[in-house]
Chain A
């Protein structure tokens, strides 16, 4: 790992940023910055910037700051100073080199996890300020290459992973076939109009984690849920455009998602164990489309499992033995208040749940979310080194006996995998779905 690390620190890192920067002129920078500020921002930006008393209380909230031995460049307000404050102060007259630094800060040194907002006495939404920076970066065409690629994929295919039109139903049918070995009459009902639930996932599931769809199908089948999955676009609930500041694409994605649910005449949208998709569907995309709250009841997997277990629709055959520790993903905990339900599920499934500290709304971020992991290999070490504090937190949980880390969010899952691997913590990482699948009562298996 020493090689890429040095290269990254030397500076030249990302083609999306570097090529984008090479095309910029100071005049273009100025007109884009001022354009965004004048036409897209209002009282929030103005009031936040004019109210901030520069106290630094947000610093300790940030895992990057804590992981870099309190280097002020990584404190939330420090990142604001290095980006939007300067843009405002200089009325957009900043250099391409400044924009380059701003792109790196906003896209790879902030997960938009909102923890800092919880530590600011005035409740200044620093995440929003960083989102404005990302919007400017987007409009300047300086977004990091890998995440821009996912946004392109969204734009072209309406899913995040360039999954082609036929690959999607094909994957569902493949998983249905696999699951039928276990439960012969199992179906993954596609395009079932009037089902109670539309189940939606993020594109990485069909792309390379198809077993998650398999597990979900088993759970649905055993619980007797009247569900469906769409066969055409609208099935993907993920949204990297939200994180690149490409709000227009975000709007298209969410419109397609909601319209698909409307077309299928379902009552609810249940989504897999993904955090950012929940943020997009529940909080961000709906607002862009003019819905103060989503037009459908949005049920995250945590809540869905909670209800299934509580209502006795799935029963636990034998509780999960290895001690687990539970990671609270920002988007469903700070963004959805699902922490107590997650604990209910954890305790229902597992014999031994070891809390990590801090937890619930105050949990440390995984450092993968907010699109940071989607900036890809060039910034892998940025997020691993930027989250030493998470490694320390996990290590304490490990010393208390935890063997398995449950992370009910895709981004967290992948990010924590890198953390656990790099810092050699030695924890297995699982979704709730993995454990439910393992411990639930299932109909007697079809004999060979």
Chain B
């Protein structure tokens, strides 16, 4: 288990972070190059003001008609995404590992709070799964990849939750947790989890088109 842990938290973690950061930069640069190559006009229509106006409306819960029409989904998706990002970033044990490895550290969450946040992510994932399986319009467009990416995201939180509470075989669960985290990071730029990278751009473009050209709200 010593070796397993050291592999997943050492070389594999390095690879995961390189793939995450390198892949993210690569995907964004490629997209911008493609715009420059084939759809240069898009740059012409971009506007900081309308981009930010649009992004701002859509990252605030209930600030758009679409969010207001779906109150349950809105609460869950915002809680899910906020916890998804904040929990691993501000988890005490993660920050301690950063400190031990690179002597950098930052503010951390109390473990009890992080525990609840992990539960929120897991419940959110269960909700999304149930929605995919039961809501006809969502079910209709669901493909295998949708379940795969949901599993990729849920796995680090399920294993992290089990590891924190030391349920099941602790050392194995802990190693699987690190592995799951590696997989998620590496998968972000190369699966539709890349909406994390691209959605600000698509949102900004549509915000610009609606604001600058069409003089209409896009929320």
Q: Does chain A bind chain B? A: yes
Q: How large is the interface on A (under 10, 10 to 19, 20 to 34, 35 or more residues)?
A: 35 or more
State whether A52 touches B192 (Cβ < 8 A).
Answer: yes
Residues of B within 8 A of A338 (CB): 215
Residues of B within 8 A of A73 (CB): 140
Instruction: Give Cα A75 to B41, complex, Å.
Output: 29
State whether B143 touches A54 (Cβ < 8 A).
Answer: yes
Flag A320-352 by CB within 8 Å of B: 1 or 0 each.
Answer: 000000000000011111110000000000000
CB distance from A180 to the nearest CB of B (A): 39
Flag B32-51 by CB within 8 Å of A: 1 or 0 each.
Answer: 10110111011011000000
State whether A53 touches B137 (Cβ < 8 A).
Answer: no
Find A56's partner among B34, B69, B135 (CB 8 Å cutoff): B135
Known: A42-B39, A47-B31. A60 touches B140 (CB 8 A): no
Known: A50-B192, A121-B199, A292-B44. A42 touches B38 (CB 8 A): yes
Flag B7-30 by CB within 8 Å of A: 1 or 0 each.
Answer: 000000000000000000000000
Instruction: Give Cα A52 to B191, complex, Å.
Output: 11
Instruction: Give Cα A187 to B136, complex, Å.
Output: 60
State whether B202 touches A48 (Cβ < 8 A).
Answer: yes
State whether B216 touches A43 (Cβ < 8 A).
Answer: no
- Is B203 among interface residues, defined by CB-CB distance under 8 A? yes
Find B142's partner among A54, A125, A333, A334 (CB 8 Å cutoff): A54
Instruction: Give Cα A122 to B207, complex, Å.
Output: 10
Closest to A71 in B: B136
State whether A43 touches B42 (Cβ < 8 A).
Answer: yes
165-219 of chain B: CB within 8 A of chain A: 192, 194-195, 198-199, 201-203, 205-207, 209-210, 213-219
State whether B41 touches A287 (Cβ < 8 A).
Answer: yes
Residues of A within 8 A of B207 (CB): 123
CB distance from A117 to the nearest CB of B (A): 6
Q: Which of B42, B58, B199 has the most CB of A within 10 A?
A: B199
Residues of A within 8 A of B73 (CB): 57
Instruction: Give Cα A132 to B77, complex, Å.
Output: 31
State whether B135 touches A124 (Cβ < 8 A).
Answer: no
State whether B141 touches A56 (Cβ < 8 A).
Answer: yes
- Is B115 among interface residues, defined by CB-CB distance under 8 A? no
Count contacts between A and B, CB distance < 8 Å: 132
- Is A2 among interface residues, defined by CB-CB distance under 8 A? no
State whether A122 touches B137 (Cβ < 8 A).
Answer: no
Rank and list the top 3 A-B pairs by shortest CB-CB distance, nearest first.
A337-B215, A123-B206, A42-B38
State whether B141 touches A78 (Cβ < 8 A).
Answer: yes
Q: Which of A57, A60, A71 has the most CB of B within 10 A?
A: A57
User: 14 A-B Cβ contacts within 8 A?
Assistant: A43-B39, A54-B138, A54-B142, A54-B143, A54-B146, A54-B192, A77-B137, A118-B65, A118-B217, A125-B206, A125-B209, A334-B214, A337-B214, A339-B216
State whether A124 touches B202 (Cβ < 8 A).
Answer: yes
State whether B44 touches A75 (Cβ < 8 A).
Answer: no
Residues of B within 8 A of A293 (CB): 213
State whether B65 touches A70 (Cβ < 8 A).
Answer: no
State whether B141 touches A77 (Cβ < 8 A).
Answer: yes
Closest to B59 in A: A121
CB distance from A239 to the nearest CB of B (A): 17
Known: A47-B198, A47-B201, A335-B214. A118 touches B143 (CB 8 A): no
- Is A255 among interface residues, defined by CB-CB distance under 8 A? no
Closest to A118 in B: B218
Find B195's partner among A51, A57, A70, A358 (CB 8 Å cutoff): A51
Closest to A338 in B: B215
Residues of A within 8 A of B215 (CB): 336-338
Instruction: Give Cα A123 to B210, complex, Å.
Output: 10
State whether A123 touches B203 (Cβ < 8 A).
Answer: yes
45-83 of chain B: CB within 8 A of chain A: 45, 54, 58, 64-66, 69-70, 73
Known: A78-B141, A123-B207. A57 touches B214 (CB 8 A): no
CB distance from B213 to the nearest CB of A (A): 6
Binding site for B on A (CB under 8 A): 41-44, 46-48, 50-57, 59-61, 65, 70-73, 75, 77-78, 81, 117-125, 283, 287, 292-293, 333-339, 358, 361-362
State whether B141 touches A335 (Cβ < 8 A).
Answer: no
Residues of A within 8 A of B38 (CB): 41-43
- Is B94 among interface residues, defined by CB-CB distance under 8 A? no
Known: A72-B141, A122-B195, A122-B202. A42 touches B216 (CB 8 A): no
Closest to B219 in A: A118
Instruction: Give Cα A117 to B214, complex, Å.
Output: 13
Given contacts A51-B198, A57-B66, A123-B202, 18 further A-B contacts (CB under 8 A): A42-B38, A43-B34, A43-B39, A47-B31, A48-B202, A52-B192, A54-B132, A54-B143, A54-B146, A72-B137, A121-B64, A122-B195, A122-B199, A123-B54, A123-B205, A292-B45, A334-B214, A336-B215
Instruction: Give Cα A53 to B192, complex, Å.
Output: 7
Residues of B within 8 A of A57 (CB): 66, 70, 73
Instruction: Give Cα A335 to B211, complex, Å.
Output: 10
Residues of B within 8 A of A59 (CB): 137
CB distance from B207 to the nearest CB of A (A): 7
State whether B66 touches A118 (Cβ < 8 A).
Answer: yes
Find B66's partner among A46, A121, A337 (CB 8 Å cutoff): A121
State whether B35 touches A43 (Cβ < 8 A).
Answer: yes
Instruction: Give Cα A96 to B40, complex, Å.
Output: 34
Instruction: Give Cα A44 to B218, complex, Å.
Output: 18
Instruction: Give Cα A428 to B14, complex, Å.
Output: 70
Residues of B within 8 A of A122 (CB): 195, 198-199, 202-203
Closest to B38 in A: A42
State whether A51 touches B216 (Cβ < 8 A).
Answer: no
Instruction: Give Cα A121 to B57, complex, Å.
Output: 10
Known: A50-B198, A77-B141, A118-B218. A44 touches B45 (CB 8 A): no
State whether A46 touches B34 (Cβ < 8 A).
Answer: yes
Instruction: Give Cα A337 to B211, complex, Å.
Output: 9
Find B139's partner among A42, A72, A125 (CB 8 Å cutoff): A72
State whether A56 touches B138 (Cβ < 8 A).
Answer: yes
Instruction: Give Cα A354 to B203, complex, Å.
Output: 34
Instruction: Give Cα A56 to B210, complex, Å.
Output: 22
